Structure 1
Amino acid sequence: MRKIYIIILTVLFISTCLLLNNNVNELPNPSTTIKEKLAAVEDYKYYLDKGNNTIGQEMQKMDLVIVEPIEMQQPYIEAAQEKGTLIFGYINAMEADKWNEAFYQQLQEIDFYKDEYGEKMYFAEWDSYLMDMTSAHYQNLLLQEIQKQIVHKGLDGVFLDTVGNIDSFLPPKEQGQQNQAMLTFIKKIKQQFNGLSVAQNWGFQTLAEYTAPYIDFIMWENFSYDVVGEDDWSLDKMNKLKQLREKFGTQVMTIGFNRETQSRVLAEKHHFKFLYNPAGSYYNSWKID
């Protein structure tokens, strides 16, 4: 009788362990890092306007959405995160937008980039000015904005736009100083906000020589086949980005503006993520397929 009792207890113990093991396998893995989640991204969206119920539902289907946190309503952000969507908040790093009056009014003259003639650089298309990342005051304003718009709202990461302005608009002799300042700024983000995930838009040289160890993904806009498909410069950058991904885990998110099929095939060839946006560099329309 005692032997039978022991056998029954053993069977019950094994059954319980198997049941617990199955249940554990069905639960989300709490140890999954944001780098692993970004590596698994398939569907993502870049959208910088207000949401509505339809858009809110669509956000929940995405692996990643980049939003303008001043515009996107908090309930849509939280509902998407509950479904596992990563939400990154847009912050304009190297430009100050005049539409963002609360931020713009805090700027001082030392925060604006000025050329050798003391002139500011104005972008009429975006109604914005190029900024000087070496300004400690400007960096502090950006950190306060990240605290307010990203950290306080519980977003998963910050998306730094216009990092590529350093390469694109500044004289080569000034790029090193601005790149070093950008690196210092990103390190401050990591230190002050508990390792908050950081992404950047363009700035391939900045990434390769300075920021790659701290960047979880880089955005390549206008990854369109007619622009990058047969271009030696672009091919070199693709190969370099793959090396950085291998070394640091930095994912590459691309956006094509035309020739969707060929652009997507090219992105997938290099295991880059791809989003098609026929409106170009305007992200105020959420197209529902």
Structure 2
Amino acid sequence: MQHIKLFFCLLPSLLGFKVWSYTDQKPNVFFCYGKFNPTEIKGYEYVILESKNFNASDIKKVKSLNGKVLAYISLGEVNSQSKHFNKLKDITLGKNENWDSYYLDLKSDSTSQVLFSEIDRMLSEGYDGLFLDNIDNFTTFGPQKDQKAEIVAFIGNLKRKYPQHFILQNAGIELLEDTHNFVNGIVVESVASNYTFADNNYKLREKNEYEEYIKKLNLIRKKYRIPIILVEYADTQSLYNDIQKRILKTNFLYFIGTIDLQGVPNFTN
């Protein structure tokens, strides 16, 4: 997922948070990579931000009203609007046309140096951890599938440098065998829902596909004992309700938003 901005609900049975009924379910986490007033977000266990939109003072305000605050960074791509784009643009491997971003070359020492410099800068501003995007780029069918060793080494080095920080991995399930000791949770997209870019279509995933996916994720949760967060996409309140009805039964962490994820979801219909 590129540059996601999410709300999701943390697993009460594992993390000890308040249990809500289906009718008053309230997300425990707020993800947003757009701008907002830091004092408007209150009562979330985790808040994930796009660091370019906030300064250290903003982060302090968000932390005073919420729990942990994590910063977004992609380890697979760099967006043309990112602060560190100019430092990486000449050593990228091609363009992702869906998101106006460019594939990173982790085989290059320069790439790793720039990424760590950006991470150091963000964490120095007071963030409690990181959300690592585009990890699926390094899996079997990803554009950087030949850099599996490099991404695993990078995440390992990151955790060793910042052992007390919360690290959330986005996608890349097949890499968990190698990364699970370095991350505190994993995000999986479009399990209950099935957004397609070609036609900009929001819909539910077929029931049999969804049920098989949940079985797979339950096995992963049991094996690695880390939180799994389902990130789902909807464009109407009706679809939101259908997705929520599915995933509340699973006790997985979750978020439901629109595909651009630029702000607080506001569904109609």
The answer to whether the superposition gives a TM-score over 0.5 is yes
Whether the 8 Å CA contact 1:66–1:159 is kept in 2: the answer is yes
1:192 aligns to what? Answer: 161
Q: Which residue of 1 aligns with 2:262?
A: 284
Pair 1:170–1:244, CA change in 2 (3 A):
closer
Q: Pick the aligned partner of 1:164 from 112, 126, 136.
A: 136
Equivalent residue pairs, number = 235
Q: How big is the shift at 1:228? A: 3.7
Structure 2 CA distance for partners of 1:134 and 1:79, relative to 1, 3 Å: same
**1:234-275 deviation per Cα after TM superposition (whole angstroms, max 9, x unaligned):** 544433433333343321222221322221232222211222
Q: CA deviation at 1:84?
A: 4.0
Checking the alignment, whether the CA contact within 8 Å between 1:198 and 1:215 is kept in structure 2 is yes
Letter in 2 for 1:80: V
Quick one: structure 1 residues 40 and 70, their matched pair in 2 at CA, closer, same or farther if it must change by over 3 Å? farther
Which residue does the alignment assign to 1:248? 224
Partner of 1:139: 112
Task: Give the conservation status (yes or no) of the 8 Å contact 1:224–1:260.
Answer: no
2:207 to 210, 226, 230: 230
SS of 1:106's equivalent in the other structure is: helix
Provide Cα deviations, 1:132-153, integer angstroms capped at 9, x if missing partner. 223232122111111001x201
CA contact (8 A) 2:191 2:213 kept: no
What's the CA shift for 1:36?
Answer: 9.7
Partners in 2 of 1:167 and 1:178 — Cα distance?
Answer: 9
Partner AA of 1:83 in structure 2 = L
What is the deviation of 1:38? 8.3
Q: How do 1:92-241 residues align onto structure 2 when only pairs under 5 Å count?
A: 92-100=74-82, 102-107=83-88, 109=90, 111-113=91-93, 120=94, 122-149=95-122, 151-167=123-139, 170=142, 175=145, 177-207=146-176, 209-225=177-193, 226-232=203-209, 235-241=211-217
TM-score with structure 2 length normalisation?
0.76
CA deviation digits over 1:183-219, x for unaligned, max 9?
1001111112234221121222222x32122221212
SS in structure 2 opposite 1:214?
A: coil
1:286–1:163 Cα change, 3 Å = same
Q: Deviations over 1:144-175 (max 9, x none)?
A: 111001x201211100111122237537xx62
TM-score by length of 1: 0.71
| CA contact 1:179–1:210 (8 Å) conserved in 2 | no
Q: Which runs of 4+ in 1 moved over 6 A?
A: 35-38
Report what 1:82 is aligned to: 64
Structure 1 residues 170 and 246, CA gap change in structure 2 (3 angstroms) = closer
* CA 1:194–1:204: 2 relative to 1, 3 Å: closer
User: Is 1:261 matched with 2:234?
Assistant: no
Segments of structure 1 that go 5 or more residues without pairing to the other structure are 1-34, 114-119
Is 1:66 the counterpart of 2:48? The answer is yes
Structure 2 distance, partners of 1:38, 1:156, is 20
CA distance in 2, matches of 1:51, 1:73: 12
Match of 2:198 in 1: none
The separation in 2 between residues aligned to 1:235 and 1:66, in whole angstroms, is: 29
Contact 1:60 1:81 in 2 (8 A): no
SS at match of 2:71: strand
CA distance in 2, matches of 1:193, 1:267: 32
Q: Distance in 1 between matches of 2:135 and 2:105?
A: 12
Quick one: higher RCO (CA 8 Å, sep 6+), 1 or 2? 2
Where 2:120 maps in the other structure, the secondary structure is helix
Equivalent position amino acid for 1:47 in 2: C
Match of 1:274 among 254, 261, 267: 254
The separation in 2 between residues aligned to 1:251 and 1:58, in whole angstroms, is: 27
Given that residues 138 and 151 in structure 2 are in contact (C-alpha distance below 8 angstroms), is that contact kept between their aligned partners in structure 1? no
- Secondary structure of the structure 1 residue equivalent to 2:118: helix
For the 8 Å contact 2:45–2:66, the answer to whether it is kept is yes
Q: Secondary structure at the match of 1:260?
A: helix
**Do the aligned partners of 2:89 and 2:102 also contact (CA within 8 Å) in 1?**
no
Q: Provide the C-alpha distance between the structure 1 equivalents of 2:14 and 2:128, rounded to a whole number of angstroms.
A: 11
